[in-house]
Amino acid sequence: MMRSTHALVALCFSLGGACAARAPQSPVSVAVLVAGDEALASRWPRALSAGLAPEISLRRAELAAPRPAEARATATAMAAVAQAAPLFASADFARCSHVFDGVSVDDVLAEGRRDIAARALLWSVACSLADERVDDARRFAERIASLELEVPSVVTRPDVESLVSAALARASSRPRVSLSVRSAAGAALSIDGRPPECRAPCRVDLISGAHVIVARADRFEPRAQTVTLVDRAVSLELALSPASATRASAQWREREQQGAPSDAAESMALLAIAASAPRLALVRPEREGRSTRLSAALTVDGAVASRAELRVNGAVSDRHGVDLLRELLVRGRVIEPARPVYLSPWFWAGIGAAAAAGVGLTAWVFTRPIQTTIVFDGR
């Protein structure tokens, strides 16, 4: 028996410690988002966990709620314009010229409202000129010209219109200045409140003066910066910060509204940020006649790691979800595929133990002392 025990121990060592107890491991968390089916979305993460490997923990992906778009600077400017008109009409020019003290034209442009910026600047010209603040009035007129804003049809005074027209004429005769902008690769660049004109890196020629540059890119927070051009080419670097979960959620929904596939690589990266999930599985059930096509994509650390698909005839059950997610996680190398029994070290350990026991038993049978008893019959 000692020999068989030694053989079993040797077999365990030869199998790389297969007989040793495995240290417990924390389960790997995977967030699951089922798009377009609230019933499956609420049931599957809990229901499917039992059917998968014990080292996997599923949870429902919760996307951060996007905040409504805020245009505080625009709202402030519109309120100031509403106050300026009656003050100007009543000849209260001192108060009229100060209602715009809290208005940031740069922020209004960053919010994309060139029309409101133009109104605020024109009323600033009118109120300042009427209040005999001529230098301020000229500065506001020059800003209208350098930004190439469309002058609104507002009835003020002939001297206001003349001042603005002169500023526009001077600006059109000045040579343009080159501005080169670098930012996150592919970032959309908006200049002075216009729709995006180019993507970084980008070079534009602008009238000298102050200009507002806004860079926007998926997976990043937008950034606005004012740059003043004089007479020499300028290079601008706009470094972007990683997007918050709230921002990523809004960007993902915007891509969906634009018709981008929800499981495209960029969309999946946004989903992972929005759900704060290092591992995220997106499942999309799509009805096709009498069958349902289940397609799934998995991201690991923001990159698509695997895709899987399953076609179901009839009702979709939890068993289908288990099969789909197991295939997805195996392809993404999150879990190991099920191995045949004969490849398991425990199988060979059992075989070895049985063989050793058989050898020991055989040895005992053939080596034990044999006692023969002969009985003589004396009859």
Domain ranges across the chain = 72-173, 177-237
Alpha-carbon torsion (67, 68, 69, 73), positive or negative? negative
Report pLDDT for 132.
92
Under 8 Å between Cβ of 56 and 335:
yes
Q: What stretches of 217-275 adopt beta strand conformation (E)?
A: 223-229, 234-237
| Region label for 268, one of left (φ > 0), alpha (ψ between -120 and 50) or beta (otherwise) | alpha
Residue 152 backbone dihedrals phi, psi, to 5 degrees: -70, 155
Architecture label for domain 177-237:
Sandwich (2.60)
DSSP-assigned letter for residue 149: P
Residues in the chain where the model's pLDDT stays below 50: 1-24, 341-343, 372-379
Report pLDDT for 336.
80
Structure tokens at 364: 């005992």
| Region label for 70, one of left (φ > 0), alpha (ψ between -120 and 50) or beta (otherwise) | beta
Report pLDDT for 18.
45
- The Cα 323–Cα 44 span in angstroms is 12
Strands, sheet with 234-237, edge to edge from the N-terminal-most edge strand: 202-206, 177-182, 234-237
Under 8 Å between Cβ of 268 and 332:
no
- The Cα 201–Cα 189 span in angstroms is 9
Write the CA distances from 133 to 93, 98, 105, 152, 258, integer angstroms: 10, 11, 19, 22, 48
Judged by DSSP in three states, 371 sits in: coil
Q: What stretches of the chain adopt beta strand conformation (E)?
A: 28-34, 56-60, 177-182, 188-191, 198-199, 202-206, 209-216, 223-229, 234-237, 279-288, 291-300, 303-313
- The Cα 187–Cα 185 span in angstroms is 6
Under 8 Å between Cβ of 55 and 306:
no
- Beta strands at 198-199 and 188-191: parallel, antiparallel or unpaired: antiparallel
Structure tokens at 87: 């003050």
- pLDDT tens-digit series, residues 192-219: 999 998 999 999 999 999 999 999 999 9
Report pLDDT for 47.
79
Alpha-carbon torsion (332, 335, 338, 344), positive or negative? positive
